[in-house]
Structure 1
C-alpha cells in the first residue's frame, strides 16, 4: 500500500467514525431524556447549611446525568410556605421538597419517626436504621398514603435544647412556657404543662422578640447564631432530648418519581446519600466556632437538670404508649426503631462513648 492510499483510507475511516458518533448521539439522547423538577424547601436561603443540603443534592444529580436531570431549588415561601412543602408534593404542585417529616405531625404522629423523636436515635444510628435496618422502607410504606416517597437528605446531629428567657431548673419551670418546638417534642412539653408552638424557621425571631413565645429550639450554634436568638433569650440549654439526630428528607411525588428512568433514580439515591453526609460534616465544622462566638456575645450555657431530663423521659414514654395503643402504623415503626436503639447503645457505650469521654477529659485538661 502506497502512502497516498493509506492516507485516503485513514481519512475515510475517520469520517466513518465521526458518522458513527453522530448516529449514536440521538439514541443516547433518547435514553437520557431531559427532566426538570421543582423542589420547594421548608427553609430560608439564609440558613445555608440546612437549606444548602437540597442544593448539594440537586448539583450532584445534575452532574451525574450530564445536566439532563435538573432539580430547581426554591426557598420556603417562594412557591408555598415552608410548613406546606410536603403538601405541595403530595398534590403534584411540585415534584419534590426538602423538609422535616415531623413538620406533618398533625396529620399523623408517625411522621415524627422520619426526623427525630424524644430520646430516640442519634445521627449514626439514624443512618444505620434507615439504610440497613429497613427504616427507609418502613417510612416509605407509610408515606405512600400521602403519594410521597422519600430519602434521607441531611442530618443536624444531636441538637441543642433551645433558648429561654428564664432559667429552667425544675419541671415546674416548664409550666406555661410558650415554646417553638416541632413534632413529638411539643407533645411531651405539653404533657409537662408547656405550650408548644410550631413556627417556620424564618418566623421564629420576630415571635421571640415580641414575646409571642418565651422560648425556642432550632438546631445548634451555627444556625441559631444566624437567627439571632441570643439577642432576646440569653439562656441556651442542652441537650435537645427530642432530637438526638434530626434527619432531613428529600420527598418526591410518587408519580413523578416512578416516571423517572432507572439511572435517574440511582443518581437521586446517590445524591441524597452524599448530601446527607455533607450536611453533618458541615455542621460539625461550623458549630464549634459558632458556639465560641455566642459565648463571647453573652450567651449563658445551661444543662437541663437531671430532674428535667428524667421527667421528660417519663412523659415521653407515656405518650409513646398511648400512640402505640391507638395507631398501628406508629407502633410498627416505633417497635423497629426501639429494637435497634437497645442494641445500638449497647455497642456505642463500649466504642464511641469511652473514646470520646477520654478525649474530652484531655481537652478539659488543656492537653489537646
Structure 2
C-alpha cells in the first residue's frame, strides 16, 4: 500500500469521535499520570513558550491532576530540533514545537506551521477546524506514530532584523540569515546562506556576527530577545510566515491510552490555546513596536522587486514538492480553503479596513 492509500484508510478521528466510542476504557484510565512534554525553546520565551506553558497548565488543572504535564524546555532532555524523534519513538510523551522544523521528515509538515504567501492565523483556523486541515495533520502525523493538534499561533511574522538595508534582490546574495521552513528554502534560492538556528541560540549568533540577520516572531517576542541591542534595522512585513502555527503532538500510543474524556479535553484545550496565543501576540505587538522605535529601531519595508523575487522563488519551491502525493493532496486542500477565505475577506474585512484607515486618518 502506498502512502497516499494509507492516508485515505488510516484512522483520523479527532477527540470528539474518541469521546463517543463504546470501546473499553484504556489501560491507564485509573490513577494519576505524569506526561513529559519536550519543547523547542527555553523556558519563558514570549509567545512560543507561553503557548506550551498554557497548554501544560490547563491540561493539568482541568484533569484535576489525573494528567500532569511536565514541561521540559529545549536542551533539558533533548535538543530543540530533536523533539519530533523523541516523541515519535516514545522517549517523551508530547512535544510542543513548530512543525516546519521537521521538513526532513516530510515536506508537507510546512503547511502546519506556515508557508510563504500562505494563510494568516485566522485563515489557518478556518481550514484546520472547518475545511479538513486537522484531519490532514493527523493523517500525516500518524505515519510517525503521532497525534497532533494546533496549539498556538504567532500571527504575521516580520521580515526580520538585518545589519544592512535590502534595496534589491541582489542584496540577498551571500547574506547569512536565520530562517527555517519553506521560507528559508525560498531565501536560499535567492542566494542567501540560510541558517536554521534554534530560537535559544539566535541572539548569540546575531551578536557574534555568525549571521547577518534573523527573523523570529514579532515585536513583542523580538523585544524580549534583545535583537534591538545588536541592530536597529527591522523589516516589519515578511513573505515567509503570514500566520505561524505551533503544534502539540502526542506519541500516538500515549494518546490512545487516554480516556475518551481526556482526549476530548486535549482537543478543547489546544483550540483555546490557539485563540489565546494569537490574540496575545496581536495585542502586544503594537505597543512593543512603539517601544522599539522609541529606542531607535528603524522600520523598513522590502521594495517591490524583492517581493517579486520572493514570490517567484516561492512558486518554484512549492512546485518542486508537488510530485509527492501527500504534499500535493494537502496543498490542494490548503490553497482551496485559502481561496475561499480570501475571497470573502477582500470584499468584507479588507475593504472595511481600507475605508476605516482612510476615514480615521482624515
Is TM-score (shorter-chain normalized) higher than 0.5?
Answer: yes
1:64 equivalent to 2:71? Answer no
TM-superposed deviation, 1:106: 2.4
1:93 equivalent to 2:91? Answer yes
Q: 1:94 to 1:173 in 2, by over 3 A?
A: same
Q: Which position in structure 2 is the counterpart of 1:220?
A: 218
TM-superposed deviation, 1:45: 1.6
Q: Distance in 2 between matches of 1:35 and 1:293?
A: 44
CA contact (8 A) 1:152 1:250 kept: yes
Structure 2 gap segments, 5+ residues each: 1-27
Q: 1:67 to 1:301 in 2, by over 3 A?
A: same
2:339 to 342, 348, 351: 342
Q: 1:364 to 1:47 in 2, by over 3 A?
A: farther
Q: Which position in structure 2 is the counterpart of 1:355?
A: 352
- Higher percent of residues as helix: 1
Q: Distance in 2 between matches of 1:360 and 1:210?
A: 41
Q: Distance in 1 between matches of 2:360 and 2:211?
A: 37
Q: Distance in 2 between matches of 1:152 and 1:129?
A: 12
SS of the aligned residue for 2:117 comes to coil
Larger radius of gyration: 1
Q: Distance in 2 between matches of 1:197 and 1:62?
A: 36
Number of residue pairs the alignment of both structures matches: 335
**Counterparts in 2 of 1:274-293, with a 5 A limit?**
274-293=272-291
Q: Distance in 1 between matches of 2:270 and 2:264?
A: 10
Name the structure, 1 or 2, with higher relative contact order (CA <8 Å, separation 6+): 2
Q: Distance in 2 between matches of 1:244 and 1:125?
A: 10
Q: Which position in structure 2 is the counterpart of 1:264?
A: 262
Q: Kindly report the root-mean-square deviation, in angstroms, between the aligned alpha carbons of the 2 structures.
A: 1.4
Q: Which position in structure 2 is the counterpart of 1:8?
A: none
CA contact (8 A) 1:170 1:307 kept: yes
Give the structure-1-normalised TM-score: 0.88
Structure 1 gap segments, 5+ residues each: 1-29
TM-superposed deviation, 1:288: 1.2
TM-superposed deviation, 1:31: 5.7
Q: Which position in structure 2 is the counterpart of 1:157?
A: 155
CA contact (8 A) 1:83 1:103 kept: yes
